[in-house]
Amino acid sequence: MGKRIYQIDSIKVFAIFSVVSVHFLLNSGFYDIDIESLLASIGTVLRLIFITAVPLFIMSTGFLMGEKTLDDTYVTKLGKVLLIYIVVSLIDWIGHILILHNDFSFSDALFGLLDYSTDSYGWYVEMYIGLYLSIPLLNAAWHNSEDKRYHLYIVVTSTILFFLPSLFNIFGKILPDWWTAAYPIGYYYLGLYFKTYLEQIKTIRVKSLLFYSGTVFIFLSILTSLKNYGGIFSWTTQNDYMGYQPFIVSIIIFLLFLKLPFKDEKNGSFHFLLVKISNMTLTIYLFSDLTDSIVYYYFKQFVPNIEARFVWAPVIVCISFTMALMLSFSVEIILSKTIFNRIRGEKS
């Protein structure tokens, strides 16, 4: 086994916190008001950062699973993801009934498991199932050749098919955009590219990376602020997951995190907590549907004015994240001591 790359754990922890953060905008009413105040304008810039959560997760998957091949146990390992999804979704359903008094029957919950609606954030699991099953094929294509030009061809082709249409088709169709919905493949290959050429990335000067990254990000921030100022935030293909803006910012964030100066040896409680949260990101992600629902139900009553809610963002995000983290930790312990341990015992 190779040494653990704590930079990837850091990316995953940042991504899961970004999930809860970007959902503040969704649940606070940000998308329903005119962007006219300084706080609202800051919200458009923060969205540019936090919308990268899903891309960063997929890029981390490409980085970590780029060597996976199809074997007797590969498909069965997907069972852990499905079990976590089912358990968390049912707890989510119970929580909505007992705490929020929603009228969802047990049959609604069961059918909701099939269409990924019992937990409204379950769409990610639906996407991940397809991506996971495709990974041996994606890896086989990548490792068909070790030529860097071949790998660049894959990355450039993915970029053209999945992300560039959002930039070049603003004033009319120039590039084919039929494939943009398959954007997870593009992010997966980006992560795999960074893993393959990690040693070359390490040679990039931090000052140069910060300068160029900062310049690009400032330009995108000004662009998105000017575009949305004076009206309701415009959710377009340019700032959606297949958009060039999240694509660029995701690359910037991923590269910056890869340059973090982690030492090879473990550093006590910090590394332990980092790895622990990193390993629970899917559970936290799914539980945040319940914690968001509870927190924002009471928060909206406490602060009815949408603009006034923005100053509470750090507090509300931290509360929802902490609740989801605690629930995830409890469920992970129970599953580890029961089902997962039993499965490991049978395999051994």
Mean pLDDT, residues 113-118 taken together: 96
Identify the bridge partners of residue 315 per DSSP, sorted by sequence position.
none
Query: For 316-330, what is the mean pLDDT?
Result: 97
Residue-level pLDDT at 346: 53
Please, which pLDDT band fits residue 99 given cuts at 50, 70 and 90? very high
pLDDT for 348 beyond 50: no
**Is residue 155 over pLDDT 90?**
yes
For position 43, what pLDDT does the model report? 95
Distance (Å, whole) CA 233 – CA 35: 7
Is it the case that residue 344 has pLDDT exceeding 60?
no
Model pLDDT, residue 1? 47
CB contact at 8 A, 299 and 102: no
**pLDDT per position as a tens digit, 278-289:** 999 999 999 999
Alpha helices in the chain (DSSP H): 6-28, 38-50, 53-65, 78-98, 106-115, 123-142, 148-162, 165-168, 183-196, 198-201, 206-228, 244-258, 268-279, 281-302, 306-309, 313-335, 341-347
User: What pLDDT is stored for residue 216 in this prediction?
Assistant: 98
Helix (H, G, I), strand (E, B) or coil at 145: coil
Would you give the DSSP letter of residue 104? -
How is residue 78 written in tokens? 């997907």
pLDDT at site 262? 81
Q: What is the pLDDT of residue 342?
A: 60
What is 224-271 written as a DSSP string?
HHHHHBTSB----TTSSTTSHHHHHHHHHHHHHHHT----SS--HHHH
Contact 244, 167 (CB under 8 A): yes
Q: How confident is the model at residue 343 (pLDDT cuts 50, 70, 90)?
A: low
pLDDT tens-digit map of 208-230: 999 999 999 999 999 999 999 99
Given a cut of 70, is residue 341 above it in pLDDT? no
C-alpha distances (whole Å) from 271 to each of 19, 264, 326 are 22, 11, 18
For range 253-266, the mean pLDDT:
85
Question: CA-CA-CA-CA torsion for 165, 16, 59, 183, nearest 10 degrees?
Answer: -30
Q: How many CA atoms lie within 13 A of 277 on its CB side?
A: 21
Q: Residue 161: its pLDDT value, please?
A: 97
Residues paired with 34 in a beta bridge: 232
| Overall average pLDDT of the 167-196 stretch | 96
pTM value is 0.95
What pLDDT does residue 337 have? 83
